[in-house]
Chain A
Amino acid sequence: MKKHTRRSFIKTASAASLAFGATPLLAAKTDRKYRTALIGSGWWGMNILREALAAGRSTAVALADPSSDALEISAEEITDLSGDKPRTYQDYREMFAREKIDIAIVATPDHWHALTTIAALDAGAHVFVEKPTGHTVKESRAMVNAARRNGKVVQVGLHRRIGPHHVSGMEFLRSGKVGDIGMVRCFVNYGGGVEKPTPNSRIPKGMDWELYCGPSALRPFNRRIHPGGWRNFMDYGNGTIGDWGVHWLDQVLWWSEEKHPKRVFSTGGRPVRGEAVNDGQAQTSDAPDSQAATFEFEDFTCTWENRRFGGHNSEKHNVGCYFYGSNGTFHMGWRDGWTFYPNKRGAKEVHADPQFDNVKDGHNMTPLWADFISAIESGKDPVCEIEASHRSSVLPMLANLSLKIGRSVEWDGEKELIRHDPEANKLLRRQYRGSWEYPEA
């Protein structure tokens, strides 16, 4: 059994702290361990919990997941890793009723983010919730309200606000070296072709599929949904714009310090993957295979585009943001770091390599988690605090809303309403299934 030490995360935490003024972890007054629970004990949730354990400030006390297999595997892994013996629950409500939890990690599909996060906050826990905040706008606002009324810290998994090359890239953008920026283009592009329907199959033993679907539609079980495919089912996720887009649109709000777009338009479809199928025998995913969205801001235009066909062999970068300014173009990327392409003749490109805690994953979870603990202990806001993260999450939600309704929407960000369009406003929330209640803001 490995004994976990604080290793290199201390360095990155300090770097982040200096950048954001939060109290460095080294100055923490106690060695208190937080009773930590994980809701959504699959691949990504376990990644976050492992980070938490490695940081040395958590004891894993409980796991919640609709799949008893996932619970058993994850609990065993945690015990082997740290000696902790987390109790396992299929229903998170039972978990909160029985356990005293200081920190809850929410790593469920999007449709479960709101209810679990609010339950955790009302039970007195701080929350680390994955992005995007919620599945529809009003439930996401309800999450913000729950955080405020309970006085708890919420960190959202928009780790690109703390990733070192994002921080240095943002400094470069703000330095004026790119000039006046009038447009930002965000994108992710993949290759791919038609999607054939996958036959529905028997619910795996031990999976409470009714609970998995929860407040959303009860689809027949299909291995395209689980494991790993729910992001492309609009019942459970928000497509590529909700999964990937939110990260890059968040970079735009971070850079501009804008709060709300004035108007949003989106179009897209499945011209290549083919019409979505859900016919009782088989299913395909139903998220668009291509989507374009425009966000009007006061002083600039922001666009989003994603494709699941065509690849990107004609372009250098397959993901990120291009900031177009009077001095040139700045690309904020993932594994390609950031690059400034100046207009001026003879001027050299400026580039920063990506820096990750581990190159393979390409994420920044270690400093994000450290910042979370730091925020809990210092009282200062975490770097991805819930209000700002909610506003970033609203962008893909509005785009999907515009796509669904077939027209642009004028957004009143202060009131969180769409102007002149009662039909559109209905889509800011949705009907929960059965006895699950949509959380009102």
Chain B
Amino acid sequence: MSFAWPAGGPKALWNAAVGTGFSSLAIADGRVFTMGNEGDRDFVRCLDANTGKLIWKQGYDCPLDPNLFEGGPTSTPTVAGDRVYTISRLGQVHCLGAADGEILWSRDLAAGDELSSPGWGYAGSPVIHGKLVLLNVGESGMALDKATGETVWQSEPEEAGYSSPVVFQHAGRDLGVFSSGKYFSAVDLASGERVWSHRWLTRYGMNACDPLIDGDLIFITSGYGKGCALVKHAAEEPEELWKGKALRSQLTVPVKLGGFVYGIDGDENAREPSLKCVSFATGEEQWAEAGVGFGSLIAAGDKLIVLSAKGELITGQATAQGWKELGRAEVLKGKCWTPPALAEGRLYCRNAFGDVVCLDLRSPRS
């Protein structure tokens, strides 16, 4: 792949319109899956990865619900085998056939009014683990049977956080980390039993960044000035190894490369959000790059690909020593809070309006 490009930026292979929202793009078997809202209906769309042409779309009633942001779905479809799993901000869960979008089962988790949905609705994407669909719903998650949608286990109806479940193994157990508005919890995935909860209170209940897990070490971060911490998993009470302010990530899931975490420090409307490098083991800030402001990022090998909130694509080499920018180009107009997706040398980006662009990052020679 090539991370630098001539003026005008990387080549755009195709564009598509998918409706308002913040859903990222899942790519599988030559197809792209995403969500967006049009006319108070969520649509799950399947596009051809090569051409961007619509293969199918499936919709259901769901209000756009703009509330200090544009509204629309905030989670991403999950593809497993021949099925696609989605959750709306209201808690409507769907299992669709990947081939044609047929609804195989659906659950309306909000019906019955038991659940206390978080202020901006559910944002955690579904995670498939064995026979389970894991969802960040309730105080410490929920699991549905992926074949039928029936509830296998659930947690107290407190406000969930906005991150996606993250699975890890320890001492032969499969565990998942779920955020609520006030805690990060580890749950035994076989039983649904909560193993521990670590208090992490963030303004507005905005625990929105998926934790980064390495072995039994769990890196958490949140914004509104809160900060970051490294928590060591244990059978009962986790140990907080360190807590600091070097990375205060509001919406952006950071990435770990080697022993270092790279993320966006500072809220979207803060003084100077910047790309930062922080030691995973100690929380010490290594450097901050103000030239890369608020946005989302993914890692590609040892490079970082950042999509700025203004639609600028910025690539660079990031190490503990510093940041070396490789390429920069405007690829989308409008607000971009959704992380891009990279598959087979193609980068898929979307903005809040639902404009999607597929960029060719493959090197000319390949």
Q: In the bound complex, how far is the Cα of B181 from the Cα of A202, in angstroms?
A: 15
Binds B, one of A68-76, A332-340, A413-421: A68-76
Name B270's contact: one of A69, A223, A224, A360 (CB within 8 Å). Answer: A360
Bound CA span A237–B193, Å = 45
Given A198-B65, A198-B67; A360-B269 close (CB under 8 Å): yes
How many residue pairs, one in A and one in B, have C-beta atoms under 8 Å apart? 42
Say which residue of B116, B204, B226 sits within 8 Å of A202 (CB atoms): B116
State how many angstroms separate the Cβ of A228 from the closest Cβ of chain B: 6
**A435 interface hit (Cβ, 8 Å):** no
Are the CB atoms of A196 and B201 closer together than 8 Å? no
Closest chain B CB from A281 CB (angstroms): 12
Residues of A within 8 A of B201 (CB): 69, 72-73, 76
Could you say which residues of chain A place their CB within 8 Å of the CB of B119? 223, 227
Provide the B123-166 mask, 1 if CB < 8 A to any CB of A, else 0.
00000000000000000000000000000000000110000000
Q: Which of B63, B158, B159 contacts A196 (CB 8 A)?
A: B63
A355 CB to closest chain B CB, in angstroms? 15
Summarize A's interface: helix, strand, loop or mixed: loop
Q: Which of A72, A77, A227 contacts B204 (CB 8 A)?
A: A227
A73 touches B67 (CB 8 A): no
A358 adjacent to chain B (CB < 8 Å):
yes
Q: Verify B68–A228 contact, CB threshold 8 A.
A: yes
* B218-235 vs A, Cβ < 8 Å mask (1 yes, 0 no): 000000111100000000
B32 to chain A, nearest CB (A): 30
Interface residues on B, range: 20 to 34
* Closest B residue by C-beta to A197: B63
Does B346 have its Cβ within 8 Å of any Cβ on chain A?
no
Question: Which residues of B33-72 have CB atoms within 8 Å of chain A's CB atoms?
Answer: 40, 63-65, 67-68
Q: For the complex formed, measure the closest distance between the CB of A4 and the CB atoms of chain B, giving whole angstroms.
A: 14
Query: Which chain B residues numbered 62 to 91 have a C-beta less than 8 Å away from chain A?
Result: 63-65, 67-68
- A70–B203 contact, CB under 8 A? yes
Restricting to A375-418, which residues have a CB under 8 Å from any CB of B? Answer: none
Q: How far is the CA of A402 from the CA of B205 in the complex (A)?
A: 40
SS of B interface (majority): loop
Which residues 53-82 in A have Cβ within 8 Å of B in the complex?
Answer: 69-70, 72-73, 76-77, 80
For B224, list chain A residues within 8 Å (CB): 73
> CB-CB < 8 A to B181: which residues of A?
69
Q: How would residues 221 to 233 of chain A score, 1 for a CB under 8 Å from any chain B CB and 0 otherwise?
A: 0011001110000
Given A204-B159, A223-B119, A224-B67, CB of A73 within 8 Å of CB of B202: yes
Known: A80-B245, A223-B119, A360-B272. A73 touches B65 (CB 8 A): no
Bound form: Cα–Cα A193–B271 in Å: 30
B350 at the interface (CB under 8 A from A): no
**Extra contacts besides A80-B245, A358-B271 (6): CB < 8 Å:** A69-B201, A77-B225, A196-B64, A201-B116, A201-B117, A361-B271
Interchain residue pairs with CB less than 8 A apart (29): A69-B182, A69-B205, A70-B203, A72-B201, A73-B201, A73-B202, A73-B203, A73-B224, A73-B226, A76-B201, A80-B227, A80-B245, A196-B40, A196-B64, A196-B65, A198-B65, A198-B67, A201-B117, A202-B116, A204-B159, A204-B205, A205-B158, A223-B67, A224-B67, A228-B68, A229-B68, A358-B271, A360-B269, A361-B271
Question: What is A's interface to B at a CB cutoff of 8 Å?
Answer: 43, 69-70, 72-73, 76-77, 80, 196, 198, 201-202, 204-205, 223-224, 227-229, 358, 360-361
Pairs A-B, 10 closest by C-beta atoms: A360-B271, A223-B119, A358-B271, A73-B203, A73-B201, A77-B225, A202-B116, A72-B201, A227-B204, A228-B68
